Structure 1
Amino acid sequence: MLDYTFWLEWAQFAVRWVHVITAIAWIGSSFYFIALDLGLRPEAGAPRGVHGAAWQVHGGGFYHIQKYLVAPERMPSELTWFKWESYATWLSGFAMLILVYWLGAEFFLVDPRVADIPVWAAVAISFGSLVFGWLAYDFICKTRFGDDNTRLMVALYVILVALAWGYTQVFSGRAALLHLGALTATIMSGNVFLIIIPNQKIVVADLVAGRVPDPKYGKIAKQRSTHNNYLTLPVLFMMVSNHYPLAFSSAWNWLIAALVFLMGVTIRHFFNSHHAHKGTPWWTWGVTAVLFALVVWLSSLGPGDEAVGLDEAALAPAQARFVQAPGFDEVAGIVMGRCSMCHAAEPGFDGIGRAPKGVHLETPAQIAAAARQIYVQSGLTHAMPPANLSLMEEAERAAIRAWYRQAMGLASAG
């Protein structure tokens, strides 16, 4: 039987695939142009207005690239815009947010142990924080305070750290770090959609009309592009973190996020300095290693919300129905017998030091809270147990399917 969860899983997979593809395209072009811009050098005999040029070789061919500091004297016959990579990345990422964290809010967004709030409120906070984050950032950038880029970057860092802490007070650890990444990505895409591209269009309109473009538009766009350059690597960490509970389920997950933003600065400083021919600051890797060591140490200080005892009374109504559904006692016995040796506070399987993805399956309440993962991983597929090491039988998988579908109001598996 092909039910709602089946189609939702494939929708998530398809959108995630698009998201990864477009993110590769956006980050690749962004890093390339930053490296190109920093590597430009004055060139004798260059046309008027050319700020710098570079010779590059790739794929067996030579490329001669010139950059105009403001714009050429006349509009070229053909102009390639780099914008859809950013737009498609944000749109697909926002679709993922809806499919995973909004439609699956009871499982992945709301954690009663952190904040017992209704789903509608959690979704409102999720969306509202993205809007607030962009508006606050854009406002600061446009004030006189934002004229000093170093001062502005420090202020942005403080704001992001404060939001990291705030997210951990409202959402599950997994959702908190994911939302911090989504907020940062919203700032980056907002820079492209609302600042960089509109400013470039103003310059193009001036060229078409025969006017001399105002250099301020290029300066503003350059500032926002620089911000994007330093924010990219932390965003990638936040997006990947949802697979690693040592990061998102740590009691210090917000501080881990704060250190990751600093690592983004040190790593990009190395490459930016290298591309600009300003030396090779190897010391940045030492600082990065120390920061990462601190991240690892913080993750060892103690688990966060995942270790808090969860009883049936703490379950959201949507999760409690799985306890009440026919067949739950049988499924609970199956899961505890086949899965809990790894999915435990202290895993008993060799080589497993921590419950995979922070999912604990030692009590009925924990099993109910992870109902959807159990259904997909062990009911619809044979993904769990891995290699069927605990010898889960087909009849047991059928029992899991029947239980989940009963709880979801669907017909039992045939």
Structure 2
Amino acid sequence: MDAAYLWEWASLLLRWLHVITAIAWIGASFYFIALDNSLEAPKDGDPLVRGEQWSLHGGGFYYKKKFKGAPPAMPATLHWFKWEAYWTWISGFALFALLYWGRAETYLIDPEVADISVWTAVAASIAIIVAGWVVYDQLCKRLWGREGLITALAFLWVSVLGVVATQLFSGRGAFLVIGVTMGTAMAANVAHVIIPGQRRMVKAIEAGQEPDPKDGLAGKQRSVHNTYVTLPVLLMMLSPHYPMLTQGRWNWVSLILLVVAGALIRQFFVLRHSGRSNWALPVGGAVALGALAWLVAPRPDPRFAGVEAPPFAEVQAIVAARCATCHAANPSFDGIGAPPKGVVMETAQQIRRWAQPMRQQVASEAMPPGNLTDITDEERGKILAWVAGGARLD
């Protein structure tokens, strides 16, 4: 069976699994953060209970309690929340490896950004992912109790990694590397801090001892960190669909502004669960997104100034040579089994149909990825002039 076809199926199944498990993990994470922040003091004054909540869902009433430490007795069945996180990371990392390592020449490397080998790019991405977790983890441990400083330094660290990534990889590759770095830290928080701490708590209770309160506090700390990172990570994973974000000299600023906007907006909803509304947070997020929109707004490119719209036959020849090797019913480019996103540009009508989307991709230099087909600035200018001139077929 054709290798490119099998690759497409592997990509589909991994992406599907990743979306399913991510929904389960994020849903559980958001729910428990909301639950924690909406607990009320126990009505009966029970000194063992930190808070309680009544809720209504699915046609029934629920009554939940959170204990300050150990409950009076361990229940026969205790529900854990871990496999959603583990499988989200496993599936996401496998998908990243399949796409961005398996086809590094296409998706991870851009010679116009940095002329590096496949193995250098893979090694650099691994180094960033590992360093991202190690430094963040050490900040949490060494600065225990100083949450404001941890948050500021963690944000600074992500910003530094973002700048480094955008100087090494293609735009889309850089955003995905940082997304994987942040997602890896989230999963590592579960695997190396939250779950081990909870296991120690259960073991202590079963032994008739008081659990170490730091285990609970550390678990809560990392859970809160995870919820702030969630929205930026989701957008990082979607970013390959938006070259206006990933391409260009200011893509590292775009990356940082997305992190800021996502964290601020998430914090607004976290506070809402505890009955507080800080409208400065969503306003700040909106300002960050507005600044981003202004930063990436299309501007006249002096390289293409004064270029006149060429005859369609000339445009069609450029598209055939530079685009249709992938965007064809039967792609001829090695490793591509189906036209990306179903976009086919072989006939005059097909080229005209995709003229406006092609304009954005060509202008931002997102396509061809890494300029694998060696399109020239002159050819880009002709395509853009043709589209601006009404995409005529005569």
Is the structural similarity TM-score above 0.5?
A: yes
Aligned partners of 1:22 and 1:86 also within 8 Å: yes
Q: Distance in 2 between matches of 1:159 and 1:339?
A: 45
Shift of 1:220: 1.0
Shift of 1:130: 1.1
Query: Which residue number in structure 1 is paired with residue 292 of structure 2?
Result: 295
TM-score by length of 1: 0.76
Aligned partners of 1:52 and 1:66 also within 8 Å: yes
| Candidates 215, 218, 228, aligned match of 2:216 | 218
Aligned partners of 1:75 and 1:207 also within 8 Å: yes
3-state SS, counterpart of residue 56 of structure 2: strand
Does residue 93 of the first structure (1) align with residue 99 of the second (2)?
Answer: no
Does residue 42 of the first structure (1) align with residue 41 of the second (2)?
Answer: yes
Query: Which residue number in structure 1 is paired with residue 282 of structure 2?
Result: 285
Aligned partners of 1:340 and 1:361 also within 8 Å: no
Matches within 5 A, 1:108-147: 108-143=107-142, 145-147=143-145
Shift of 1:340: 6.5
Query: Which residue number in structure 2 is paired with residue 181 of structure 1?
Result: 179
1:166-196 deviations in whole A, cap 9, x for unaligned? Answer: 0011100000011111100111111000000
Matches within 5 A, 1:14-413: 14-45=13-44, 47-143=46-142, 145-278=143-276, 280-300=277-297, 349=355, 354-355=360-361, 359-360=366-367, 366-367=372-373
Q: Distance in 2 between matches of 1:337 and 1:239?
A: 33
Aligned partners of 2:106 and 2:372 also within 8 Å: no
Q: Distance in 2 between matches of 1:152 and 1:323?
A: 47
Q: Distance in 2 between matches of 1:59 and 1:303?
A: 54
3-state SS, counterpart of residue 207 of structure 1: helix
Aligned partners of 1:250 and 1:303 also within 8 Å: no
Aligned partners of 1:50 and 1:67 also within 8 Å: yes
Shift of 1:257: 1.1
Aligned partners of 1:111 and 1:172 also within 8 Å: yes
Q: Distance in 1 between matches of 2:47 and 2:96?
A: 48
Shift of 1:323: 9.2
3-state SS, counterpart of residue 169 of structure 1: helix
Q: Distance in 2 between matches of 1:16 and 1:300?
A: 30
Shift of 1:146: 3.8
Aligned partners of 1:335 and 1:361 also within 8 Å: no
Q: Distance in 2 between matches of 1:119 and 1:12?
A: 20
3-state SS, counterpart of residue 355 of structure 1: helix
Aligned partners of 1:342 and 1:355 also within 8 Å: no
Residues 323/342 of structure 1: CA separation in 2 closer, same or farther (3 Å cut)? same
Q: Distance in 1 between matches of 2:161 and 2:31?
A: 30
- Greater CA drift, 70-79 or 8-17: 70-79
Q: Distance in 2 between matches of 1:104 and 1:226?
A: 35
1:205-243 deviations in whole A, cap 9, x for unaligned? Answer: 001111111111111111111110111000011111111
Q: Distance in 1 between matches of 2:104 and 2:175?
A: 15
Aligned partners of 2:247 and 2:366 also within 8 Å: no
Aligned partners of 1:200 and 1:218 also within 8 Å: yes
3-state SS, counterpart of residue 63 of structure 2: strand
Q: Distance in 2 between matches of 1:249 and 1:352?
A: 15
Q: Distance in 2 between matches of 1:46 and 1:193?
A: 35
Q: Distance in 2 between matches of 1:390 and 1:14?
A: 40
Q: Distance in 2 between matches of 1:59 and 1:80?
A: 20
Residues 133/59 of structure 1: CA separation in 2 closer, same or farther (3 Å cut)? same
Amino acid at match of 1:286: V
Aligned partners of 1:39 and 1:54 also within 8 Å: yes
Q: Distance in 2 between matches of 1:116 and 1:336?
A: 35
Number of residues of Structure 1 aligned to a counterpart in Structure 2? 339
Query: Which residue number in structure 1 is paired with residue 388 of structure 2?
Result: none
Q: Distance in 2 between matches of 1:124 and 1:245?
A: 25
Query: Which residue number in structure 1 is paired with residue 11 of structure 2?
Result: 12
Residues 93/350 of structure 1: CA separation in 2 closer, same or farther (3 Å cut)? closer
Query: Which residue number in structure 2 is paired with residue 386 of structure 1?
Result: none
- Structure 2: tracts of 5 or more residues without a match: 305-325, 327-331, 335-344, 376-390
Residues 350/89 of structure 1: CA separation in 2 closer, same or farther (3 Å cut)? closer
Q: Distance in 2 between matches of 1:293 and 1:272?
A: 23
Residues 162/301 of structure 1: CA separation in 2 closer, same or farther (3 Å cut)? farther
Residues 10/116 of structure 1: CA separation in 2 closer, same or farther (3 Å cut)? same
3-state SS, counterpart of residue 52 of structure 1: strand
Amino acid at match of 1:111: D
Aligned partners of 1:115 and 1:170 also within 8 Å: yes
Aligned partners of 1:339 and 1:361 also within 8 Å: no
Q: Distance in 2 between matches of 1:20 and 1:240?
A: 12
Shift of 1:293: 0.8
Q: Distance in 2 between matches of 1:41 and 1:218?
A: 19
TM-score by length of 2: 0.79
- Structure 1: tracts of 5 or more residues without a match: 308-318, 325-333, 344-348, 370-388, 392-414
Aligned partners of 1:134 and 1:187 also within 8 Å: yes
